Amino acid sequence: MSDITTKQMTARPYIIGWLLFVAFLIFIMVIIGGATRLTGSGLSITEWKPILGALPPLNLADWQDAFEKYKEIPQYHQINKGMSLDEFKSIFWWEWSHRFFGRFIGVAFLLPFLFFLGTGRVEKKLQPKLWLLFALGGLQGFVGWYMVSSGLVDRTDVSQYRLALHLGLAVFIFAAIMWVVLSLKANSGEATKAASGGTVRDADGVVKTGAFIVLALIFLQIIAGAFVAGMKAGFAYNSWPLMNGHFIPSGLDAMSPFWRNLFENALTVQFNHRMIAYLILIVLVVHLVQCLRRGQGEHIASAAVLMLAALGQVFIGIMTLLQGVKLDLALAHQGGALVLLTAALWHYHRLSYKASK
């Protein structure tokens, strides 16, 4: 690590703290986004104004103008026709908060980044990663509007495909930030161990592969959950472990061609979400056994934490379903997905990451 200055090493804890704060903001942003979706508020703002849109309506005339624009879209005519201005405000504030929080995250990332960069506190290898994270954040703003625009003309809600893209990108950015944080912490830890003559044994390849499969399945499950939300599939079939009285219900292939069922058939979408959850638990059990049988006892702790997080997430998911997707449970389930992803990311990072020299 000879190319890293003393100033940059000293700045690492502050950079880690800043990135963790941004990751926390993204976590909150995902929760707000879930609430926006569940309350049907996402189409209440029909224009995309990245700068001027930061200000909400400031007087009655502004509110009336925003309300009149909302009255022009299908959601108002087919679902909310006759709603009062106060009722409109209740959905408007969710969407405005979601967009405002996105702008706040951009500022919370950019200003400290420019400070660290301008004062020479960002090590050379880290700079392109941080610029890429900032670019992805900007892209996410565009993708958000791309999603909203899908519900302004011919639909009463947003496209489930675009919703999945929007959530998937948010989760990817969150995971990328956490990976950078874990890497910085690992590099700092390796520097300490190297100075004291310590070594870290490489993890077994089979165990690392197992951890990666779990991580990939969790990301896939989050995307599947986005389709459940986009199709409002959680509001139907509110029983467990059976659906319509069967473990494998009829009608999973009702649409043609078959692939449409995976994304447009509410029954199939919810069924797939359940099956992926079961698959994750099975793969996790196999992975725990691998850790024990292949002499990877030092990684059992993080694998056990991952298993507990998965069981907790499954329990919250079942309760959300049985309670008819109550807002508090649904948001806990969405937040739990990021907690589970973080646990999987931490576990895989411990197994796979090698500190830079």
Whether 354 shows a pLDDT value over 50: the answer reads yes
Whether 89 shows a pLDDT value over 90: the answer reads yes
What are the backbone angles phi and psi of residue 43, rounded to the nearest 5°? -105, 10
How confident is the model over 141-158, as a mean pLDDT? 93
What residue segments make up the domains of the chain, in order of their start? 1-200, 201-357
Considering only the C-alpha atoms of the chain, give the largest distance between any 2 of them, rounded to a whole number of Å: 73
Query: Is residue 66 very low, low, confident or very high in pLDDT (cuts 50, 70, 90)?
Result: very high
Measured distance CA(7)–CA(332) in Å, rounded: 40
Amino acid symbol at 112: P
Confidence at residue 202, expressed as pLDDT on a 0 to 100 scale: 56
Amino acid symbol at 349: H
Alpha helices in 150-258 (DSSP H): 160-195, 205-231
* 3 state SS of 59: coil
